[in-house]
Amino acid sequence: MSEKKSYHMSPEEFRRHGREVIDWIADYHENVERYPVLSPVRPGEIGDSLGTQVPDRGEPFSEILQDATERILPGITHWQSPGFHAYFPSNASGPAILGELLSAGLGVQGMLWSTSPACTEVETRVLDMLADLLGLPEAYRSTESGGGVIQDTASSGVLCALVAARERDSRLRTNRQGCDGSQVAYCSTQAHSSLEKAMGIAGLGRANLRQIPVDEHFALDAARLAAQIKADRADGLRPIFACATLGTTSSTAVDPIAAMGRICQEEGLWFHVDAAMSGTAAICPEYRHLHDGVEYADSYCFNPHKWMFTNFDCSCLWVADRTALIGALSILPEYLVNDATRSGAVFDYRDWQLPLGRRFRALKLWFVLRYYGVEGFQYHIRRHIELARRLVGWIEADRHFEMVAPTPFNLVCFRHRGSDELNERIMKELNGSGEIFLTHTKLNGRFALRLCVGQSRTEAEHVEKAWSLVVATAKRLRRRAT
C-alpha cells in the first residue's frame, strides 16, 4: 500500500506549491530577457526529453515543477519577452494571470446561466463596459438588441458571425438542409485566412469567398466590392456577408468601414468588422474615428489577448442583433432544460458560440479592466504607437532601408533595399541571435519584414536595440556579399 492517505493534493500542499509557482512566474517575468526569444530547439527535441509512460506512482509536485521548468523552458518561444516583435503580440499582465488562476481555482463551466450565474453575468457586464470603452454602437449592448460574448479566438468569432449570416439569409433552412452553394461572401485580399477557413467549415465553400483587390494602402477598394456584389447577383448568386478588417495582419491596413457598411446595408449583407489587434487603439479618443461606420456592422470582433494585456485566450465578439446569432446556434437537448432558460430571462452563452462548455474567461478581463483603468490602457497604447513611429523615422533616415506600408498603429513594415533573399537572411540571422524575434509577410509580391511593438514590457531601449541589431546584421551580410 502507498503511504499516501489520499491521491489528492491537500489544501496545505496546494498553498505551499502555489506560492512556489507564483514565485517562479514572477522570477520568469523579471528575467525573461535572459532567454533566446525564439526557441532554438530542433523538431522532436523536447518530446524526446520527456518520459514515454504515465508513472505507476504519482510523483512529488516539486519534481514535476522542476522538470517543467528545466525540460520545457528550452522549447519555449518567449512571447512575453520585450524583444518579441513577431506576428501580433499575445501580451499578458499580472492581473490577467491572477484572474485566470482564480478562474481555474473556481473551476466552473458556464455553458448555461444556471451552471454558474456569475460566469454569465460578469461576462455580459464586462462586455457592455468594454463596448463603452471602445465607443461601439449602442445596439451592441446587452440592454439593447445585441450583446457581447467571449470566444476563444477571432477565428471562432468570424465563424459564428458567418453562420448567423448564413441562417439569416436562408431563414434557418441551411441549418436543417445544408448549403446549396449559392451564398457568397466578401473580404479584401489582405483579410485574415480565418474567414476563408470559416467558409469551408460553415459549408459555404472556400471558393465562394470573393477576395476584393486593395488600394495602394492595402485597404479594400469599396467600388470594386459594390461591382462584385452586383455581378454575383446577376449570376444568380446570393451575397450574404462581407468582412472589413481594421488592422490587417500583414500591414495593419484599415478597410473603408463606413463605405463598406453602406454597401452592405443597401445590399442586405451581414457586415462583420475584424479588429483583432488594432481595435484596441480605439480606447484612445484620437483613434476613435476608426470606428466611423461601425454602426452599420452586424458584428464586431477584437482580441484583448493580442494588445490588451489579457493572456491568451480571450476574443470578444459583439452582435447588433443577438436573435440572429442565437437563432443560428441554439440547440436545447432535454438534459440541459432548466427553469432559468425556460423563463427567457437569462443569457445562455452556449447559444452564442461553437462549443457547449465554456471557461470563466470574463474574470481575467474584468481584473485587467479594473487594474489598468482607461488611463493605463491609453498610456500603453500611445507608448507602443510612439515607439513604432520612432522606428519609422530611423528606417526612413537610412538609405539602405525602405518602408513598404503605412504605419497607422504599432506595426512597422519595411525592407532592406535589394533582393528578397537578402531580407530573408537578415530575418533569419536576427531570429537566430536570440536577441529579438520578428516575422515577415509579402506586400506587393515582395518580402517585407514586420516588427510589431506591442509586448507589455517593450520600452524605448528595446526598440532601439532591435533597430541597431537590424542595422548591424544587414551591414554584416552586405560585407559578406562583397
Residues that bind ligand PLP (CB under 6 A): 88, 153-155, 192, 194, 245, 248-249, 274, 276-277, 303, 315
Radius of gyration over alpha carbons of the chain, in Å? 24
Return phi, psi of residue 292, to 5°. -60, 125
- Other C-beta atoms closer than 10 Å to the C-beta of 338 total 15
Q: Which three cell numbers stand for residue 392?
A: 519609422
Residues 6+ apart with CB under 8 A from 236: 182
**Shortest distance in whole angstroms from residue 289 CB to ligand PLP:** 19
Of 235, 237, 241, the closest CA to residue 212 belongs to 241
What is the DSSP code (8-state) at residue 10?
A: P
**Shortest distance in whole angstroms from residue 301 CB to ligand PLP:** 8
Among left, alpha and beta (phi > 0; psi -120 to 50; other), residue 333 is beta
Give the whole-angstrom CA distance, residue 368 versus residue 56. 41
Measured from the CB atom, is 154 or 209 closer to ligand PLP?
154
Measured from the CB atom, is 88 or 366 closer to ligand PLP?
88
Angle value at C-alpha 275, between 147 and 146, nearest 5 degrees: 10
**Shortest distance in whole angstroms from residue 126 CB to ligand PLP:** 18
Give the whole-angstrom CA distance, residue 325 versus residue 146. 9
Measured from the CB atom, is 162 or 469 closer to ligand PLP?
162
Measured from the CB atom, is 116 or 249 closer to ligand PLP?
249
Cell 493534493: give the residue: 9
Measured from the CB atom, is 245 or 458 closer to ligand PLP?
245
**Shortest distance in whole angstroms from residue 279 CB to ligand PLP:** 9
Of 41, 26, 111, the closest CA to residue 73 belongs to 41
**Shortest distance in whole angstroms from residue 250 CB to ligand PLP:** 9
Measured from the CB atom, is 141 or 192 closer to ligand PLP?
192
Measured from the CB atom, is 103 or 303 closer to ligand PLP?
303
Give me the helices (H) in 58-142, please. Answer: 61-67, 94-106, 117-134
Can you give 180-243 as a three-state secondary structure string?
A: CCCEEEEEECCCCHHHHHHHHHCCCCHHHEEEECECCCCCECHHHHHHHHHHHHHCCCEEEEEE
**Shortest distance in whole angstroms from residue 71 CB to ligand PLP:** 27
**Shortest distance in whole angstroms from residue 248 CB to ligand PLP:** 6
At position 367, the amino acid (one-letter code) is F
Measured from the CB atom, is 174 or 315 closer to ligand PLP?
315
Give the whole-angstrom CA distance, residue 233 versus residue 180. 15
**Shortest distance in whole angstroms from residue 315 CB to ligand PLP:** 5
**Shortest distance in whole angstroms from residue 457 CB to ligand PLP:** 20
Measured from the CB atom, is 196 or 429 closer to ligand PLP?
196
**Shortest distance in whole angstroms from residue 306 CB to ligand PLP:** 7
Residues 6+ apart with CB under 8 A from 469: 430, 433, 435, 436
Return phi, psi of residue 187, to 5°. -160, -175
Measured from the CB atom, is 120 or 250 closer to ligand PLP?
250
